[in-house]
Amino acid sequence: MTQQLPILKRGSTGEHVEHLQHDLSLLGYELKIDGIFGPATENAVKKFQQDNNLTVDGIVGPQTGRLIGAALT
């Protein structure tokens, strides 16, 4: 069974946000890894979405999450 990851957006906190921040950092996006989805994380997500021709909404849903994972492989 595949685990469904939560949708992450501004105001989200915790381990999933920390993993997201770490992954974005590995991909070259500048942000602090603190487990808080604030303005810097939102901007990094929007930049990733723009760079990958996704809808730019700053929200990490299934499509954005999959592409971040694929970009790391």
pLDDT of residue 26: 98
Torsion of CA 67, 4, 19, 35, to 10 degrees: 120
> Mean pLDDT by 10-residue block, N- to C-terminus, for the chain (73 residues)?
78 98 97 98 98 98 96 92
Give the model's pLDDT for residue 3. Answer: 58
Q: What is the pLDDT of residue 1?
A: 42
**How far apart (Å, rounded) are the C-alpha atoms in residues 1 and 68?**
21
Q: State residue 5's pLDDT score.
A: 75
Nearest residue to 68 via CA among 16, 11, 13: 16
